[in-house]
Structure 1
């Protein structure tokens, strides 16, 4: 089953077998040099000022994705050797898939968003002093049905090989079995890692969100445009915790040939939240993952309608400058998940007041920070997407 449609100025291809689906973005095919505003979110985030305090040094971000393409816009020292979990096809056991190759450019785009140096037409990364540990999966290959199990192995590898943050700009549909990913996430969290996951880019179609973002302790990330307005395709729901820019950014062009300006979706937004966490952790290396997550949530640019959070933008736009430059945020308890529900208490009497309908979309204050990312695959497909003061913030999660 396959259909091809046009959306947001770029092609989109969807394929589905046995209830699984795939989603990725090729980006608007416009040369990066044609738009000089695609780094504007760095100016709004006061990145240069933040880098004087912390630039991500000492923090390794594992990018579990489609690999990276060498020479694509970062210093060689910024990207570690990494590992690949792609198995060769039975008929070609001699084929290898090194972590420093990338068929489709998705992992390359996420890596540059974090540690790019602005060369080769690519973006300047938000945390240029950090390291990226590339973990390659079968995204964009005929073996894409194996991504879930490969990602689970990658999560464990990251936990055992020096990563502090895991960026998962890939995902699975709610009905995809989580029997391998869930225990891997729990293992990584037991080792002190912070896990960031994109929510997905299905908001306009069926609005399923990334099942990984529903796991306890995982930060689910949605996408907003440069004005702070939720992007219509951004998957949303109770597992949305933070948002960041997902529009008009520099991503790899089709077939991973050069840089283009286009919508990076929740995948790119997730990378920016991972980079934000790297900046905060670099400045406060003695903090735990829970403390880093807590201050990012506390200092987020909240919904402009006055609500504490919304299903579209969560607690708001990630603003690491509020932590680094304005010294806001209380890290709180080191080992208490800021997204865990509070202890049960006596339920209040039901309200008799009518409940106002939720707005279709929401906006975030102080926006700082595409297309659904779609990967064709043969045989079978998994969804790849491409998700307080010192008080506890409640996040409704499946357990």
Structure 2
């Protein structure tokens, strides 16, 4: 990957009107739990933006007393998600979309040789986040084996008032496997778009897709968390931007519930350009928090009604052996505002996550870029 100094990624904050939004709200008062690979103190992320957090990493066999710090990160995935939300833009880092928010790092074994344990650890981490004040929970990874535990943990967090975002995955050019966590009712499944506002080719898609955000070239931590580089951010980065967007809206309307925040984000999203209400590539559309904060659009509605509950029940995308040819990406069109260089950041090969490949018996470790 080229160094950040060699390549400038697209500026997605300007078309989002971030500077104008920050005059209304910058995420202050909102805690976003990043359940991921941890957080390493690096140039570009101020220490005051990151809470102590917790590590739920399992100790190695024979060393049950081993402790891990949440403020460490072997591969940089969690650090990148943190910077996408609250980074200060210095030292090669991205400028965060919700710079006033607080990040609660919840460190799992993602990005380590023990990544197979991350699903169960993540379930524990989700519960911790909900019990310790996280309004928003960011899940930029997926796991197949521990889905039942993860689903129960997510539902527990929702009962505590948390809003959960889950990356769809980066299998769009492969078998299109999608993140099972996006199937849980109330979870916002996030796809990715490119600089032109079109669905990012690598972005997984299906009925689980609810919203989309920029996931193309962005500033991410290089392999092994050695510095800032420029590479595709994928649905991981897009999910971080969706979480940051929710933090902005919730900061401006602290009396709203998770359902109300989700509802206005769905109502104000840049819908598919072909006139349909939603499609499997960008869901209800590209997330646009400025429509809520600057244009004052969106109706929060009932505080305890899931805005996605009226939609058809989510079902997994068909397996590789069952699915028909996907519709052309062009027909799945993206943002409703032509000309805006929506280039949502996709995160480059950094998180080891265990995903099931359709109905086959082969399981491989995947990293959400």
TM over 0.5: yes
Larger Rg belongs to: 1
Change (3 A) 1:153 1:373: same
Determine the structure 1 residue equivalent to 2:316.
Answer: none
Residues 37-56 of structure 1 aligned to structure 2 (within 5 Å): 37-38=9-10, 40-56=11-27
Q: How many residues align structurally?
A: 342
Change (3 A) 1:382 1:186: farther
Change (3 A) 1:75 1:292: same
2:212 counterpart of 1:243: yes
Match of 2:5 among 28, 33, 52: 33
Match of 1:142 among 113, 116, 139: 113
Determine the structure 2 residue equivalent to 1:8.
Answer: none
* Higher relative contact order, chain-length normalized (CA < 8 Å, sep 6+): 1
Match of 1:297 among 238, 241, 266: 266
Match of 2:103 among 107, 132, 142: 132
Contact 1:148–1:382 (Cα < 8 Å) also in 2: no
- The CA deviation at 1:177 is 4.3
Determine the structure 1 residue equivalent to 2:198.
Answer: 229
Q: CA RMSD in A?
A: 2.1
Distance 1:343 1:373 in 2: 33
Contact 2:352–2:368 (Cα < 8 Å) also in 1: no
Contact 1:61–1:278 (Cα < 8 Å) also in 2: yes
Determine the structure 2 residue equivalent to 1:363.
Answer: 333
Residues 1-399 of structure 1 aligned to structure 2 (within 5 Å): 29-38=1-10, 40-93=11-64, 95-173=66-144, 176-341=145-310, 358-361=327-330, 362-365=332-335, 366=337, 368=342, 369=344, 370=346, 373=349, 375=351, 383=366, 385=368
Deviates more, 1:45-54 or 1:357-366: 357-366
Distance 2:84 2:273 in 1: 27
- The CA deviation at 1:371 is 6.6
- The CA deviation at 1:157 is 0.4
Distance 1:127 1:149 in 2: 29
Deviations 1:316-351 (A, max 9, x none): 11000000000000111111000013699xxxxxxx
- The CA deviation at 1:172 is 2.1
Q: TM-score, normalised by structure 2?
A: 0.88
Distance 2:165 2:95 in 1: 20
Deviations 1:111-158 (A, max 9, x none): 000000012210000000000000000001121111111110011001
- The CA deviation at 1:165 is 0.1
- The CA deviation at 1:385 is 2.9
- The CA deviation at 1:76 is 1.0
Contact 1:172–1:383 (Cα < 8 Å) also in 2: no
Contact 1:201–1:371 (Cα < 8 Å) also in 2: no
- The CA deviation at 1:75 is 1.5
Contact 1:80–1:132 (Cα < 8 Å) also in 2: yes
Deviations 1:166-206 (A, max 9, x none): 00001124xx3422111111110011110000000011110
Secondary structure, aligned partner of 2:292:
helix
- The CA deviation at 1:92 is 4.4
Change (3 A) 1:277 1:233: same
Distance 1:375 1:335 in 2: 34
Q: TM-score, normalised by structure 1?
A: 0.81
Secondary structure, aligned partner of 1:274:
helix
Distance 1:83 1:177 in 2: 20
Distance 2:262 2:66 in 1: 40
Distance 1:211 1:343 in 2: 16
Distance 2:184 2:225 in 1: 32
Distance 2:311 2:238 in 1: 28
Change (3 A) 1:182 1:271: same
